[in-house]
Amino acid sequence: MQITELAPNLKMPPGYWDFGNERELKWHRIHAYPAKFPAFITGKAVEHARSKGVEVNKVADIFCGCGTTAFEARRLNLDFWGCDVNPVATLIASVKGETYQSARLERYFSEIEAEFTNSGKTAAIEFENKRIQYWFSESQSNELSAIKQSVETLLNGKYRDFFLCAFSNILKPASRWLTKSIKPQIDPTKKPQKPWHLFEQQVNLMLTALNEIKVPSRKSEIDIQTTNFFEADLKQGSVDLIVTSPPYVTSYEYADLHQLSTLWLGFADDYRDLRKGTVGSLYKDFDFNADVKTLCSLGSKMVFRLYNIDKRKAAATARYFKDLEATVHRCKSVLRKGGMLFFVIGDTEYKDVRVENSKLLAACLKASGFTEISCTKRKISRKILTPYRDAKGCFSTKSTDRKVYAEEFVISAIK
């Protein structure tokens, strides 16, 4: 079955999913996040679903990441439910989905600054972690600890989260981490920066971003949970529309990329503890013989092509495909009758073996009984995610560097 045969009557203008109709708001950029979901996809998904007769009141993102769909749902005056296993992601998502009073934030920042100054910038490091010592000098660690302690001493609730989100986003710039690298590695030439200066800049950036948002008169209900979608508290038939993008197999290790925030914010004593819960992670528990037997012929064919090259990658891919199938089944359960879903997913490649995640997902949707399945290719805009990596694995705009994911697919279906 060719994926292009799934919905021959679908009528959308060329490039419908390639670009948005408006400038992306700064609020989407309050915290760095790898392979960030394009903001305009949510609005276009709602528009397209409604054109198909779907009444949309509640949107879900089952791999909500840094909360792009959550914020766009709030802008559209829609209720939102989302989850992610990464506590750093759900912190950012919760902040994006909230409303704040700028005047209160400015007053709280002045109080934090006074508390930080009075502490003498020498607050004791809260825990002696060798990983933190690896990335930061002692003076930086002391200053970061003083900032965090000032925030947590003065604030609670969503306003504390706002400033902790700001704190989280300065950790990589303050550290020895190689800028824009998709792998944890030290930059030996990087000049150390003062954490307080970075924190002040970050808060000002977030305040500027907040002031350009037009908040709807009705306050949407936003529910974001730090959990696995399979274990999440979400009632059957409670969602009208799912808009999501699952992690790609053999791509990013999100636990590794967010290790500084994980350790500093106390989400785990060892960031590696969060690896096994991530879909697509090489570190997730798997039983290759058991997993591969449950796959469809398309999935098993791709897995065994990988098996001849790298058995560990093949095992991770088999579990990823199995998780995709389970995800589709759970989606069908939480969607109401006539509800719709949109997956943004890309194919990956490992040592010249193409892993066609898009075809596997479409096959899972068909096997689960979804109807009107369609797949549309979309270009990855350089403004969102550059398709090139340099020799160190950093994002690049040079066409002479290694080209990776230049396109992906928007797959939709109706229950």
pLDDT at 242: 98
Evaluate if residue 357 carries a pLDDT over 70: yes
What is the value of pTM for the model shown?
A: 0.88
**In this structure, are 234 and 194 located in the same domain?**
no
More confident: 298 or 390: 298
**In this structure, are 248 and 391 located in the same domain?**
yes
Q: Is residue 91 part of a domain?
A: no
pLDDT at 133: 84
Contact by Cβ (8 Å): 258, 271? yes
Interacting residues of 25 by C-beta distance below 8 A, sequence separation 6+:
39, 209, 212, 213
More confident: 322 or 208: 208
Contact by Cβ (8 Å): 164, 151? yes
**In this structure, are 224 and 207 located in the same domain?**
no
Contact by Cβ (8 Å): 97, 222? yes
Residue type, 104: R
Q: Is residue 353 part of a domain?
A: yes
Beta-strand ranges (E) seen in 274-352 are 335-345, 348-350
**In this structure, are 398 and 291 located in the same domain?**
yes
What is the average pLDDT score of the chain?
85
**In this structure, are 237 and 150 located in the same domain?**
no
pLDDT at 122: 54
More confident: 392 or 230: 230
DSSP of 152-165: HHH--HHHHHHHHH
Evaluate if residue 284 carries a pLDDT over 80: no
pLDDT at 274: 66
Q: Is residue 28 part of a domain?
A: yes
pLDDT at 289: 79
Domain hosting 76: range is 3-84+220-252+280-414
Q: Is residue 268 part of a domain?
A: no
Q: Is residue 267 part of a domain?
A: no
**In this structure, are 245 and 351 located in the same domain?**
yes
| Strands 58-61 and 79-84, bridge-based pairing | parallel
Determine what percent of the chain is predicted with pLDDT higher than 90. 56
Evaluate if residue 383 carries a pLDDT over 50: no
Picking from 211, 237, 272, the residue at the C-terminal end of a domain is 211
Picking from 211, 237, 267, the residue at the C-terminal end of a domain is 211
Average pLDDT over residues 182-202: 91
**In this structure, are 245 and 120 located in the same domain?**
no
Evaluate if residue 291 carries a pLDDT over 70: yes
pLDDT band per the 50, 70, 90 thresholds, residue 258: confident
Tens of pLDDT, residue by residue over 139-183, are 899 899 999 999 999 999 999 999 999 999 999 999 999 987 777
**In this structure, are 286 and 396 located in the same domain?**
yes
Q: H or E element: which one contains 25? A: none
CATH code at position 410? 3.40.50.150
**In this structure, are 190 and 307 located in the same domain?**
no
Tens of pLDDT, residue by residue over 32-63, are 998 788 999 999 999 999 999 999 999 999 99
Average pLDDT over residues 280-284: 53
The total number of structural domains in the chain stands at 2
Q: Is residue 293 part of a domain?
A: yes
Evaluate if residue 3 carries a pLDDT over 60: no
Which range among 45-59, 177-191, 388-402 shows the weakest confidence by mean pLDDT? 388-402
**In this structure, are 289 and 190 located in the same domain?**
no
More confident: 144 or 285: 144
**Residue 37: phi, psi to the nearest 5?**
-65, 130
pLDDT at 1: 35
Q: Is residue 93 part of a domain?
A: no
According to DSSP, residue 3 is labeled G
pLDDT at 8: 38
Contact by Cβ (8 Å): 88, 267? yes
Q: Is residue 175 part of a domain?
A: yes
Picking from 211, 239, 270, the residue at the C-terminal end of a domain is 211
**In this structure, are 195 and 315 located in the same domain?**
no
Evaluate if residue 286 carries a pLDDT over 50: yes
**Residue 402: phi, psi to the nearest 5?**
-65, 125
**In this structure, are 239 and 378 located in the same domain?**
yes
pLDDT band per the 50, 70, 90 thresholds, residue 353: confident
